[in-house]
Amino acid sequence: MEFDLHMALVILAAAAATFATRIGGYILITRMKSIPPRMEAALNAVPAAVLTTLVAPAFFIGGWESKLALIVALFIGLRFSHTWMLVAAWIVVMTWRHSIGA
């Protein structure tokens, strides 16, 4: 089984970065009494901002079946769990590609 040293080092660096975020708040909070409100607002926006950048271009460059699948998944996601979003998106894409034609 191949185990690329370069890739392993990148993964380790990613693990260290992740651990840093998981201990960082503890270190900060035990040193300071409160987080400035604007910094907190910025921190709060981090996950939505980052993850949106992974969806939007995929929607933009994807074919019509991908666009439709993501729109359907969006509406499903407002009501139901993640799993159903994946199922719905997958059904849309598969139906389109295999019956309507790619």
Scan residues 54-73 and list those touching other proteins (CB under 8 A): 54-62, 66, 69-70, 73
The answer to whether 62 touches 90, Cβ cutoff 8 Å, is no
Q: State the nearest-atom distance from the C-beta of 100 to other proteins, in Å.
A: 13
Number of residues that bind other proteins (CB under 8 A): 73
Q: Which of 3, 33, 100, 101 binds other proteins (CB under 8 A)?
A: 3
Nearest Cα residue to 94 out of 61, 59, 65, 58: 65
Contact call for residue 97 and other proteins (CB under 8 A): yes
Q: Which of positions 21-50 make contact with other proteins (CB under 8 A)?
A: 21-30, 35, 37-50
Contact call for residue 94 and other proteins (CB under 8 A): yes
**Amino acid identity, position 1:** M
List the structure tokens of 20.
Answer: 């840093």
CA pair distance 50, 6, nearest whole angstrom:
25
